Amino acid sequence: MTDHLPIQLALDVLATRHAYAVFTVLLCIGLYMMIANPHLVKKIIGLNLFQTAIFLFFIASAYVHGGSIPIVESGGAPEATLVSPLPQVIVLTAIVVGVSLTAVGLALCVRIYTEYGTLRTDALREAMAEEDDLPAAGGDSPSAGGGSPSAGGGSPGGERA
């Protein structure tokens, strides 16, 4: 009877399934950081949290109470319950993928910082909007100066329209 009380149920889940609760919380924190934080490096940290949550999920799901490592001596039959090694292997691979993603992301951050001097997305968006205006305004005169009669005649008319 008491099992069905919501609070009891929640406590039960926390006591026995805390790894999955942490997985959910980490996932949400990571996702929130990626969406809400304007700083690119912090977005990448959020991404790492998000991935770490998934690693935790795989590891937690592979845990077997009283399980032993899946190595069977030649000739001997397995006695105890064995743990599936597959989730660990998956997590190892996923960690490698995650590290390379972080490396590429940080390399891109370095390039963006040297170009614009900021890593905040709001400032970047402004800087890029200005940059977009410049070639359009400045791009006209070189092409006309380069002696392109029909292109020079066509594009300004089109842009004013």
150 binds another protein (CB under 8 A): yes
Three-state DSSP class for residue 39? strand
Please tell me whether residue 45 binds another protein under the rule CB under 8 A.
no
Tokens of 134: 């410049």
Runs of H (alpha helix) within the chain = 6-16, 18-36, 40-62, 86-116, 121-138, 140-145, 149-160
Terminal C-alpha separation, the chain: 74
* Smallest separation (angstroms) from another protein to the CB of 41: 10
Contact between 82 and another protein per CB under 8 A: no
> By CB under 8 A, how many residues form the interface with another protein?
48
In whole angstroms, give the CA distance from residue 89 to residue 153: 63
CB of 104 vs another protein, minimal distance in Å? 6
120 phi/psi in degrees, rounded to 5: -85, 130
116 binds another protein (CB under 8 A): yes
54 binds another protein (CB under 8 A): yes
Q: What is the DSSP letter of 73?
A: -
With CB under 8 A as the contact rule, the residue among 34, 45, 82, 83 that binds another protein is: 34
**82, β-bridge pairs:** 68
Residue selected from 6, 66, 138, 146 as contacting another protein according to rule CB under 8 A: 146
Instruction: Tell me which residues touch another protein (CB under 8 A).
Output: 31, 34, 40, 43-44, 47, 50-51, 54, 57-58, 61, 84, 86-87, 90, 93-94, 97, 100-101, 104-105, 108-109, 111-112, 115-116, 124, 128, 131-132, 143, 146-155, 157-159, 161
